[in-house]
Amino acid sequence: MVVGLWDTCVLSQGIEDYENYYNEIHVDDEQAEVKTRNALQSPLQRWPGQRIYYRIANNFSEIEASNVRYAVSSFNDQTCLQFEEMTGNPPAGRRYVYFKKSKNMCGTRVGYQPLQFGSHDVQLTERCLSMPGVIQHETLHVLGLFHEQSRPDRNEYVEIDYDNIPRKYWSQFMAMEQTTTFNVPYDYQSVMHYSKNAFAKDPTKPTIRALIEGKPVERDMGQTRGPSEGDLAKIRIMYNC
C-alpha cells in the first residue's frame, strides 16, 4: 500500500493507488467479495441492453453526486450506453448500479453478475469520489473491463519486473487468459492501465516497462483523467454500438 502518499502528491498517483488491495489489513465480508473482482469474473458478462440504471446513495455531498453524474454521463455522450439515474426505491427485480460511500474502499466487481439480483455496488471513498476519472474506472469494471495490463496478449506489450514487486501483489499483475481484446490495440493510456511504478518496492524503478520492438523501455502509462479512445472502443464493441 502507498497510503502515505495519498494526500501529498496526488498528481503522481496511478489508478492503482485509488483502489484497494487488502492483503495486509483487515477485510470484512463485503470487502472480501470486492477483493476477488480481478480474478473471478469474465468480461463476457455484459449488461443486457444499452440502458443501465444507476442510483446514488443519499449520503453523498452535492459535489460527490455531481461527479458521479458527470462520470457516467460521459458514457452516454461517447457510447451508445444510456445510464439513467433512479431516485427512490427501485422497482422489484430491477438491476442497477449502486454508487455507495465507503470509508476505506474503492472497488467493484467486474461485469454484469447474472446470479445476483438488485444492486451492483460500486464502493467509493471521498477521495475516489473527488476524481471523476476514478469513478469512470470503476464504471468500466462494472461494464466488464479488467485492467489493461491484464489483457491476455499483454506480454507482447509490457514486461513486468516481479523482482521490484512484493510477492503479495503479484496477483495484481496476472494476465487474464480467459478475457478478450476485441482486437482493440493495446492502450498504454487506458484509464484501466496501472502506472509504470505500480506497487514498486523501489519507486525509483518501474515495475512495468513497455516493450518496443521486443525491448523493455521505460515510459509513462495509465492515467486518472478518464476513459481513453481504446477504453471507449471496447465498450462500443461489447455493447453493439
Q: Please count the residues of this chain forming the interface with Zn ion, following the rule CB under 5 A.
A: 1
d(CA 223, CA 119): 28
Which residue is listed with cell 524503478? Answer: 205
**DSSP classification of residue 5:** G
Q: By CB under 5 A, which span of 18-26, 52-60, 85-93, 118-126 interacts with Zn ion?
A: 18-26
Closest contact distance (angstroms) between CB of 147 and Zn ion is 6
User: 198 vs 53, 118, 207, CA distance in Å?
Assistant: 33, 34, 6
Query: Which residue from 192, 174, 187, 171 is spatially nearest to 219, judged by alpha carbons?
Result: 187
In angstroms, give the least distance from the CB of 10 to Zn ion: 18
Q: Which is nearer to Zn ion, 22 or 216 (CB)?
A: 22
- CB closer to Zn ion out of 79 and 172: 172
Instruction: Lay out the site mask for Zn ion across 53-92 (x = CB under 5 A, - = otherwise).
Output: ----------------------------------------
Residue 140 CB partners (closer than 8 Å, separation 6+): 191, 192, 227, 231, 235
Active site members: 138
- Residues near Zn ion (CB under 5 A) are 19
Binding residues for Zn(2+): 137, 141, 147
